Structure 1
Amino acid sequence: MAERKARKDAVRNREAVLAAADALFARCGRPEDVTMADVAEAAGVGKGTLFRAFGDRAGLLRALYEARLEPVREAAEAGPPPLGPGTPPQQRVPALLDALLCFKLDNRRLALALEESGNGSPYQAEHYERWHGLLRAVLEQVPGLTDSDFTAHALLAATRADLVEHLAGQERVPRERARAQLANFATRVLASEPPGELSAGD
C-alpha cells in the first residue's frame, strides 16, 4: 500500500511540475530565465524531487516538450489524413511539416529553450530522430526522390526553433504566411527533378 501511494505521489508531483513549467515558459520573456528553483516553487515541490524525477533542466524540458508533442506525433504516425498514413506522400510531407511548424509557433519559448539547452547535438535528441525517421519513410515513397535521408534533414531545418523564433519574433512574419511559405518550399522540393548525370562530353 505504501509503495502504491508513493507511486501515486510521484505521478502527481510529475504532473504538477510539468503544469508549473508549462505556465512559466508560457509567461517568460526569455526561456533561460526559468530556473529549476522557479519550477519547484511554482509546483510546490522540493528541488530534490524535481532533480530525482527529471535529472536536470534539460531533462525537464524534454519531458515537457514530449508531453505537448505526443498528440501531434500520434496523429502523424497512425492518425487519419492528412497527417496519417492514408495520405499520398506528396501531400503528407507538407502536412507533417505544417503540424510541426504550428506546434513550434504555439510553443516558441519551450522549443527554443530545449534546442538551446546545450545538452549535446539537437540532431541526436529522441524527438528529432523520430520526426526525421517518420519524414524519411514518407519521402522514400516519393517517385524520383533519390536522397530521402538528407532531404528529411533539410526540410526539418526549416522548422528549427531558432528560425521559427527569428521569423515570428524578429521579422514578425504572420502565422499563415509562414505556413504558406513552408508549404511552398516543401512542394518545390518534392517537385524538383533529380540532377541528371553529366555526359562523357561535358
Structure 2
Amino acid sequence: MAQRPEPAERAERADALRNREAVLAAADALFAATTRPHSVSMDDIAAAAGVGKGTLFRRFGDRTGLIGAVIASRLEPLQQAVREAQEATATSPRQRVLDLLDASLRFKIENRHLMAAAEDAGLGSPYRAEHYGWWHEVLRTALLQAPGVHDADFTAHALLAAIRADLVAHLIDDQQMTPEDLRTALAAHVDSILGSDSGPTGEQLGDSPRPSTASH
C-alpha cells in the first residue's frame, strides 16, 4: 500500500500548485496587456506573480517552456470543447473544417499577443510547438473526409498559415480589422479552397466550439 504524503509534503505540494497558477495567471495577463510580447521577460513575470525568478526556471525550464505552459492552460478548455463537439454532432466534414478554423481563429484573436510570443520564443520553428501539432492533426483528420481535398496534410498547414498569430495581430492591431470581418474573410478563404455550398457563411459560424475565457 502506498504511503500517504506527510502534512509538510502536502503543504509543499499545495504551495507549488499555487505558485504555478500564480505564474501562469501573471504571464497570461502580461502578454494580454502588451503589443510587444517579446519584451515580457522572466523578471517581469516573476515580479507580477510574487515569486523568485529561480522558481520559474525550476518549474518551467526557460521562457519558451513557460509560454508553452500558459498556452496549454488556455487551450485545454477549447480542446475539450472540440472533442465534445466532434462526438456530439453529425456535421459534414466541410462544416467541421469551418468550425475548427473558426474556433482556432477566435482563440488566436483572444490570445494573439501570447501566441505571437510563442511564435517568437526561440523555437527552431513554430511548427514544432505541441499546440500547432494538435491543431494540424484535428484539421487534417477533418480534411481527409472532405470531398475534393487531394492532400489533407498540406492543406491543413496552408489553412493554419492563414491564421498565424503574427498575421492576426497585424490585421487587428495595425490594420484595424474587426474580429468579425476577419472571421468572415477566413470563411470566404475556406470556400475558395473547399468550394462553397449552401452551408453557413462567415456570419453563421458562431456555434463552433469556444472556450470559456476572459476577454483581453
Q: Match for residue 160 of structure 1?
A: 164
Q: Which has the higher contact order (CA 8 A, sep 6+)?
A: 2
What secondary structure sits across from 1:29 in the alignment? coil
Whether contact under 8 Å (1:75, 1:84) holds in the other structure is no
- Name the aligned partner's letter for residue 121 of structure 2: S
Q: Match for residue 68 of structure 2?
A: 62
Q: Match for residue 147 of structure 1?
A: 151
Cα distance in structure 2, aligned partners of 1:84 and 1:14 = 34
Q: Match for residue 26 of structure 2?
A: 20
Per-residue Cα deviation, 1:141-196 (whole angstroms, up to 9, x for no partner)? 0123210000000000011011111111221111111000001111221128xxxx
Q: Match for residue 3 of structure 2?
A: none
Per-residue Cα deviation, 1:32-70 (whole angstroms, up to 9, x for no partner)? 221101111111111111111111111111111111111
Q: 2:112 matched to 1:131?
A: no
- Name the aligned partner's letter for residue 67 of structure 2: L
Q: Match for residue 117 of structure 2?
A: 113
Unaligned runs of 5+ residues in structure 1 are 193-202
Q: Match for residue 80 of structure 1?
A: 85
What secondary structure sits across from 1:118 in the alignment? coil
Whether contact under 8 Å (1:80, 1:86) holds in the other structure is no
Task: List 4+ stretches of structure 1 deviating above 4 A.
Answer: none
Whether contact under 8 Å (1:17, 1:40) holds in the other structure is yes
Q: 1:85 offset after TM fit, Å? A: 5.7
Normalising by structure 1, we get a TM-score of 0.89
Unaligned runs of 5+ residues in structure 2 are 1-5, 197-216
Q: 1:140 offset after TM fit, Å? A: 0.4
2:173 aligned to which of 169, 175, 178: 169
Report 1:29-40 matches (<5 A). 29-40=35-46
Cα distance in structure 2, aligned partners of 1:84 and 1:70 = 18
Q: Match for residue 103 of structure 1?
A: 107
Mark the CA change 1:150 to 1:84 in structure 2 (over 3 Å): closer, same or farther.
Answer: farther
- Name the aligned partner's letter for residue 8 of structure 1: A
Q: Match for residue 17 of structure 2?
A: 11
Q: How many matched pairs? A: 190
Normalising by structure 2, we get a TM-score of 0.83
Q: 2:33 matched to 1:52?
A: no
Whether contact under 8 Å (2:148, 2:194) holds in the other structure is no
